Amino acid sequence: MENSPTIFIVPTGIGCEVGGFAGDALPTAKLLASASGCLITHPNVMNGGTLSEKDKNIFYVEGYNLDRLAKGEIALKRVKQQQIGLIFDSAIEKEILVRHLQVADACVSTLGINVNSYVITKKPLKIVIDSDSSKISGGIIENPDTLIDAGKCLIEKGVTAIAIVAKFPDDSDSLETNIYREGKGVDPISGVEAVISHLISKFLKVPCAHAPALNPIELNEKLDPRAAAEEIGYTFLPSVLIGLSNAPDIVELPAKNELISLHPDQIETIVVPNGALGGEAVLAGFEKGLNIISVKNQNTLKVSNEFFDYPNLFEVDNYLEAAGIILAIKKGIKLDSVKRPLKKIQQCSYSD
């Protein structure tokens, strides 16, 4: 069966009802991948703390590169295995560092993932979180250069994909954290996580993803099931290593004598939450005439369908409907043909 390459976006740090928590959009990604035959999505969708899955129909692409793909700047190349290097923030305490190294060893011994080596930053990254449970998660890195230098060190040693583990402020008892854990707010650290991975993508052009280093937190009996994956184990690193293990290579366009598995011109559809239509990938999709499926998925953004007069913009109530539209597109079925009442075809008039 032919594929219908589809980009699936759930923006980080905007409190999406589906996809705003610990990998809770992963079942949706599997559904859309099955419908499309080829899904391109980002770590925020796939990473569930210690839980994740591989799927031969899903390309795992960091958000900055996902935007570049939609804009036609890069293509993707399938690989059997990435050689992963780890960057550890020098601010991480020794015990937590050892825990993460043991997780990496476990992913090698149990899953066969190629984790090659690690480096510790010369200076602490100094993560600053700027978060409000009712708005958008954000923050900054005070020492971004030390992150880039660490990545360059790994690439010089032959690493082809990078996982970053940064020390995050211990705010486990903060109001924002507890609101999030109970399923009512925005993930307070996800915004600055995106800043970290975007930096590596922009300057080093390799697949990458981030896992925060946090101290173990107190039991919360009011925990929302969507956040529960983050309560397992000591680290969030396993899902990152699983995702990166065979993430596609980034191919800069125009490419010379380079094998390409997915060219941006093959993309047919973008699936995105209603309210989040202002992102770079979606705006590029509008320009290219792609199908845009806007799904009702409550979040803190307000750039919704009424701002756009676009013929290929479809608003649906849930991701099950989105999968149905993708299947119809893939099979070449006119969408109106499965709706009732059916409209008669119209006669064209000649222009003067």
Position 176 pLDDT exceeds 70: no
- Is residue 323 situated within a structural domain? no
- Is residue 334 situated within a structural domain? no
- Is residue 28 situated within a structural domain? yes
Highest mean pLDDT among 17-21, 228-232, 261-265, 274-278: 261-265
- State whether residue 221 is helix, strand or coil: coil
- Is residue 297 situated within a structural domain? no
Q: Which of 194, 234, 230 is nearest to 213 (CA)?
A: 234
- Is residue 177 situated within a structural domain? yes
Position 72 pLDDT exceeds 90: yes
pLDDT tens-digit series, residues 220-253:
778 878 888 777 777 889 999 999 999 999 999 9
Q: CA-to-CA distance for 350 and 341, rounded, in angstroms? A: 28
pLDDT of residue 185: 67
CA distances from 108 to 58, 87, 208, 241 (A): 22, 17, 18, 10
Sign of CA dihedral 127, 225, 174, 273: positive
The confidence band for 179, taking pLDDT boundaries of 50, 70 and 90, is low
pLDDT of residue 256: 80
The amino acid present at 127, given as its one-letter code, is I
Q: Are 170 and 214 in contact (CB under 8 A)?
A: yes
Position 211 pLDDT exceeds 80: yes
Per-residue pLDDT, averaged over 11-19, amounts to 86
Any idea which of 23-27, 184-188, 200-204, 342-346 has the lowest mean pLDDT?
A: 184-188
pLDDT of residue 168: 83
Listed in sequence order, the residues at least 6 apart from 236 whose beta carbon sits closer than 8 Å to its beta carbon are 47, 49, 50, 211, 212, 214, 230
The model carries a pTM of 0.91
| Residue 141 or 131, more confident | 141
- Is residue 289 situated within a structural domain? no
- Is residue 268 situated within a structural domain? no
b vs e for 236-250, b when ≥16 Cβ sit within 10 Å of the residue's Cβ? bbbbbbbbbbbbbbb
The confidence band for 16, taking pLDDT boundaries of 50, 70 and 90, is confident
**Which residues form the domain of 10?**
6-252
Give me 142's structure tokens: 């005070």
pLDDT tens-digit series, residues 79-121:
999 999 999 999 999 999 999 999 999 999 999 999 989 999 9
CA atoms within 13 A on the CB side of 251: 18
Please count the structural domains in the chain: 1
**In DSSP terms, which residues pair with 351 in a beta bridge?**
none
- Is residue 293 situated within a structural domain? no
pLDDT of residue 139: 79
The amino acid present at 87, given as its one-letter code, is I
pLDDT of residue 144: 92
CA 59, 326, 27: angle at the middle one, nearest 5?
55
Q: Are 193 and 141 in contact (CB under 8 A)?
A: no
Pairing mode, strands 58-60 and 74-77 = unpaired
The confidence band for 178, taking pLDDT boundaries of 50, 70 and 90, is low
